[in-house]
Amino acid sequence: MKSTNRIIVDFIKNEWVSKAKSQSSFAVEHNLDEKTVRSIKNDSNYNISFITIKKICEARNLKLSDFFKLMDL
């Protein structure tokens, strides 16, 4: 069974980061460091912070509660 952290990271990676024009553009558009985006995309042990989730949601005009509903969490 996947951890909640892994479900969140995989969702962000597969649904948003992989569909972005580039890692750099995703970072700029979501007010993130590009290193964070690389970690989301490539680090299987990455633990995403609440602040990172919040920044992504804010950039997408998405309520945190709606974000978690997307993953059925």
pLDDT digits over 6-40, tens only? 999 999 999 999 999 999 999 999 999 999 999 99
Burial label, 22 (beta-carbon count in 10 A; 0-12, 13-18, 19+):
exposed
pTM: 0.90
Classify 71 as helix, strand or coil. coil
Q: State the pLDDT at residue 68.
A: 95
Q: State the pLDDT at residue 16.
A: 96
Q: Kindly tell me if the per-residue pLDDT of 1 is higher than 80.
A: no
DSSP annotation of 73: -
pLDDT digits over 37-69, tens only? 999 999 999 999 999 999 999 999 999 999 999
